[in-house]
Amino acid sequence: MSLNDLIEILISGITIGLVYFLIAVGFSLIYGVSRVLHLSYGSFFTWGAYLAWIFAVKLNFNYFWVFVLVCPILYIMGMALERFVVRPLRKRDNFDFNVLLAGLGVALFLDYAAQAFFGARTKSLPSLLDGTIQIHDFVFSYQQLTMLAAAVVIAFALWFFLEKTRQGLALGAVAQDPVGARIVGVSLNKVYLLTFGISTILAGSAGILLAPRFFISPLGGWKFLIKALIIVVAGGLGSIRGTLYSAFLLGILEALVGWLFGLLWVMPFWFLALLLILLIKPHGLLGSTADH
Amino acid sequence: MLDVSNLNTFYGQFQALHDLSLTVEDGQMVALFGPNGHGKSTLLKTICGLIEASSGSIKWNNTELAGLSSEKIVQMGVIYIAEDRHLFPEMTVMQNLKMGAFNLSARSSEAETLAYVLDIFPKLKILRNKPASTLSGGEARMLAIGRGIMSKPKFLAIDEPSIGLSPKLREEVFLKINEIRQSGVSILLVEQSSEEVAEMADYLYLMEDGHIVFKGHTNDALKDENIKKIFLGTG
Amino acid sequence: MKINREILTTAGILIIIAVTPLIFHENSYTMHLLIMSMIWAVAATAWDLLLGYGGIFNLAQVGFFAIGAYATGMASIHLGISPWMGLLLGAVASGLAGVLIGLPCLRLKGIYVALMTLAFFEVIGPLIVVGINLGTGGKAGLFPIPPFRLGSYVFNTDELLPWYYLCLILLAICLFITYKLIHSMLGLSFTALRDSEPFAQSLGINRFKSALVVTAIAAAMTGLIGAFYAHYVVVISPRMLGLDMFLFLLIMIIFGGAARFPGPVIGAFVITFLDDMLRPLDSYRLLAFGALMVIMIMLLPNGLMGLVAKINIPLFGKRDTEAEMLNPDIPKTY
């Protein structure tokens, strides 16, 4: 492996890691704020990609408009899930158990609805931007650069929302102390709706960003749900910064393992990395010990 | 004016409040005493909509609060300051205060309220960029009260503000609460027993097992040595 | 053993299964579906032991099924061990895998269990594929897995009755173990744990130990039936680790009634036959099952058995107080 190879692996790993971060952080937000283990999350990744396929391939919109049109649809889908499936279960006993199973049911429904609408054969999306650029010895595709740029923009927007806006702070408030949030007049139901909406956008837009690189298939979201799970647990449940670190770490690992042994070995290596991290730090890289 | 009448509250099968009635006039400070675990906190939480009442009414300026969501109650200026504070541990002091002004009626005057809060609790200004989880007991108590004031209260339900504080800090906290009351806020203050509070308050209630067992004006109550003994645990 | 509704229902189910071949033994397709129902019944019951009764969100059960199947498959093909030993090996291998996955995560909060076991489950498939040099058969699968022998008789696909009754025996054993477990101290302490951890801790119950034991037993039962499955279907491949089985077992649990022994057994039979009837719908079939799953959870959270309990059929006798204690819908007192 030459130095150039290493640098290329690093850059590709960071790019993919950042997109994985978007997926993982959405999953983590839903768990942190509403304590829902959201197992239909991967299906929204898939649906984001399929919706983009409708607009980009069938209706010939460019990617800017694809995002502008798809994000509100995803937002509404996420809110509908919260309102009509999660909220009624919240009032009953065994919420954790019921919501977990209901999530699986929703996933099954959404995945096979996608298969019924779009067929079982894989679909592909055109690249975000065509062409390549050469910097010194390195050749980058515009596809990879736009993916990186879009992921950076989304991640920054998320940071701004969570840290600098009142509604974003309300999300954090509910995650940190739901009773405290009610004391200052935050409506838990509204925050849950908002969280599901935003997280669904994160999953779906990651689906759009990754679709030109992987193919879209009805059950394709599961792989990314599992990746999100591993990233979230490795980074420490509830820690956004931990999630970022572990997403980069595992993204680079993926690029490295893919280069050395082939993509088939990525998941075994991820799992091994997860076990190693948990062996050293049982609550993940930056998980709090209080969350036992 | 806050008017609670015939209030009953349950935790599952266990009845925490029995047919409870209590009144706080505008601008008054009312103190509610009683041993731990006898329903004082439950009453405050029921008033502020954190716990649902089973029956009875809670009228705030002729609006029924029972059955309203906590965010609507907060918006009307009925604010709870919890004994266990419920601060947001990972947020800074400033972010916690900003969250205090979350409700719509507090937002418009956020800047002025913030200036007022930092004026009565100057320590919070120094600590403004520290996460709430790093504060000492006294500082966290100040922040909890400050965050309550940020919500633009017309009525404050304060739950055992002196718990876990040194005598000096206790006195300081009570002085601050008195200051807040002088600004026109009605206050319902819960303590296990406290002579300082009794002397500040206009009206006293004593609670046992979810029942009100005594009520009366401070002056009358404190004249009676027996009642004084029950109330304050002192002679 | 006190006779109660659970025993009556279970015995009734087993007797009905035992006499059914009198009618259907010539219809080999129906016999096959019945055998598959029994296989799923064991897997679903074992899973419910964790999910419903234990409150342990172990999502790797299908993985244990595969481990049992591959243990006996690989050992009987490559090492030539007897399929009967293979059943035992499948149970032991899965039980050990259960302990291995349980050790790091059962001490942690429920969500970690769910996340870790799901990740573990998803990793078994790729491991089988990349482990082709170890004799896993890779993507194509293992074939042919030898049948059971009894004296000079060799189990074969033309005669399903021996398979049928062997499976019934395994089902009966697993149901007996499950029943005992639910009603033993371990089971009781478990339900206490699920409903109130501080209360259970005050009784001196060590959650970690009990959780590990139950996880191991549930994994072993699943591995046992997975091993039987391998010999029965002759060929196994990583495709069994797809979502279908995963979700179908859960639908069976929900449909029959989670923590409503022997609800998952009934669920297994109903769903297996329903699935077969809906086969012409093709991919809409799974869409329908997804919708069914959500609707069941929303409208009938305690499944068929919950419905039966509500109707309170006099045949089943009075509501059994011990069973009641184990059911989650009793109003909590504070």
pLDDT at C326 over 60: no
Q: Looking at beta carbons, which residues of chain A come within 8 Å of C287? A: 108-109, 112-113, 115-116
What pLDDT was estimated at residue B121?
92
Q: How far apart are CA A113 and CA A131, in angstroms?
A: 35
**Distance in Å, alpha carbon of B10 to nearest chain C alpha carbon:** 10
Is B7 a domain residue?
yes
Cβ–Cβ < 8 Å for C62, C121? yes
**Region B55-76: what's the mean pLDDT?**
93
* Whether residue A74 has pLDDT greater than 50: yes
Q: Which residues contact C307 (CB under 8 A, 6 or more apart)?
A: C300
Look at residue B9 and tell me if it is in a domain: yes
| Residue % of chain B over a pLDDT of 90 | 67
Overall number of domains in chain B? 1
Dihedral of CA atoms C308, C310, C313, C314 in degrees, nearest 10, equals: 140
Structure tokens, C206: 């060590």
- The whole-number pLDDT of residue C192 equals 63
Is the pLDDT at A231 greater than 90? The verdict is yes
What does the pLDDT read at residue C194? 65
In a domain, B32, yes or no: yes
pLDDT digit string, tens, across residues B112-121: 999 999 998 9
**Nearest CA to B81 among B50, B114, B54, B110?**
B50
Predicted pLDDT of residue C166: 95
Strand partners, C91: none
Q: Which of B84-93, B189-198, C320-329 has the highest mean pLDDT?
A: B84-93
Instruction: Examine residue B235 and state whether it is found in any structural domain, yes or no.
Output: no
User: Chain C within 8 Å of A163 (Cβ-Cβ)?
Assistant: no
Is B81 domain-assigned? yes
- Choose among A31, A100, A108: nearest Cβ to C57: A100
Q: How far is CA B209 from CA A233, B12, B230, in A?
A: 46, 16, 15
HEC string of chain C equals CCCCHHHHHHHHHHHHHHHCHHHHCCCHHHHHHHHHHHHHHHHHHHHHHHHHHHCCCCCCHHHHHHHHHHHHHHHHHHHCCCHHHHHHHHHHHHHHHHHHHHHHHCCCCHHHHHHHHHHHHHHHHHHHHHHHHHCCCHHHCECCCCCCEECCEECECCECHHHHHHHHHHHHHHHHHHHHHHHCHHHHHHHHHHHCHHHHHHCCCCHHHHHHHHHHHHHHHHHHHHHHHHHHHCCECHHHHCHHHHHHHHHHHHHHCCCCCCHHHHHHHHHHHHHHHCHHHCHHHHHHHHHHHHHHHHHCCCHHHHHHHHHCCHHHCCCCHHHHHHCCCCCCCC
Structural contact between residues B138 and B166, judged by C-beta atoms closer than 8 angstroms: yes
CA–CA separation, A112 and C283 (whole Å): 6
Q: How far is CA C103 from CA A55, A278, A286, in A?
A: 48, 12, 21
Instruction: Out of A170, A173, A183, name the one closest to residue B80 (CB).
Output: A183
- pLDDT category at C191 given cuts 50, 70, 90 is low
Do residues C137 and C143 lie in contact, with contact meaning Cβ atoms separated by under 8 Å?
yes
Q: Is residue C190 predicted with pLDDT exceeding 90? A: no
Higher per-residue confidence, C104 vs C252: C252
| Structure confidence by residue, pLDDT tens digits, C289-310 | 899 999 989 988 788 887 776 6
Q: What is the pLDDT of residue C324?
A: 41
Two structure tokens written together for A155: 């991640």
Which pLDDT tens digit goes with each residue over C96-151? 999 998 887 787 777 778 888 888 888 888 888 888 888 888 888 888 999 998 88
User: Which of the four pLDDT bands, split at 50, 70 and 90, describes residue B234?
Assistant: low
3-state secondary structure of A121: coil
Q: Residue C40's pLDDT band (boundaries 50, 70, 90)? A: very high
Instruction: Write the pLDDT tens digit of every residue in A169-208.
Output: 999 999 999 999 999 999 999 999 999 999 999 999 999 9
The whole domain housing B112 covers 2-230
Strand A132-135 relative to strand A138-141, pairing: antiparallel
Q: What is the pLDDT of residue C103?
A: 86
Please give the pLDDT value at position C312: 53
The pLDDT of residue C175 is 94
Terminal Cα-to-Cα distance of chain B (whole angstroms) = 33
A183, A188, A289: best mutation site toward chain B, by most B Cβ within 10 Å?
A: A183
Higher pLDDT, B107 or C196: B107
Cβ atoms of residues A23 and A243 within 8 Å: no
Distance CA(B41)–CA(A87), nearest Å, equals 28
Which residues of chain A make contact with B82, given a CB cutoff of 8 A? 179-180, 183
User: Does B76 fall in a domain?
Assistant: yes
Tokens at B106, concatenated = 């507090």
Tokens of residue C61, six digits: 């059960």
pLDDT per position as a tens digit, C59-70 = 899 999 999 999
Q: How confident is the model at residue C196 (pLDDT cuts 50, 70, 90)?
A: low
Average pLDDT in the C185-197 region? 62
Bigger pLDDT: B130 vs A136: B130
Query: Chain C 247-276, CB below 8 Å of chain A: which residues?
Result: 247, 250-251, 254, 258
C-alpha B33: how far from its chain's center? 12
Mean pLDDT of chain C: 84
Q: What is the pLDDT of residue B35?
A: 85
- Which chain C residue is nearest to residue B15, measuring alpha carbons? C334
Check CB contact under 8 Å for B89 and A176: yes
Residues of chain C in contact with residue A277, where contact means CB-CB under 8 angstroms, are: none
> Closest Cα of chain A to C200: distance in Å?
17
Summarised one tens digit per residue, pLDDT across range B154-206 is: 999 999 998 888 888 888 889 989 999 999 999 999 988 777 888 889 999 98
Question: pTM for the full model?
Answer: 0.86
Chain A residues with CB within 8 Å of chain B CB:
166, 169-170, 172-173, 176-177, 179-187
In a domain, B100, yes or no: yes
Q: Tell me, what's the pLDDT at C322?
A: 41
- What number is the average pLDDT over the span C213-235? 95
Check whether B44 has a pLDDT greater than 60.
yes
* Cα B147 to Cα B134: distance, rounded to the nearest angstrom: 17
> Which residue does chain B place closest to A175, by CA atoms?
B88
Q: Is residue B196 part of a domain?
A: yes
Per-residue pLDDT, averaged over B37-65, amounts to 92
Hey, what are C257's tokens? Answer: 């009634």
Cβ–Cβ under 8 Å, residues B187 and B30: yes
Residues in B touching C331 (Cβ below 8 Å): 12-13
Q: What is the mean pLDDT of chain B?
A: 90
Nearest Cβ partner for C114 among A37, A230, A271: A37
- Chain C closest-CA separation from residue A283 CA (Å): 9
Average the pLDDT over A258-279 and give the result.
87
Q: Are B24 and B2 in contact (CB under 8 A)?
A: yes
From B50, B71, B87, residue closest to A186, measured CB to CB: B71
Arithmetic mean of pLDDT over chain A:
90
Can you give the CATH number for the domain in which B182 is found?
3.40.50.300
Greater confidence (C323 vs A31) lies with A31
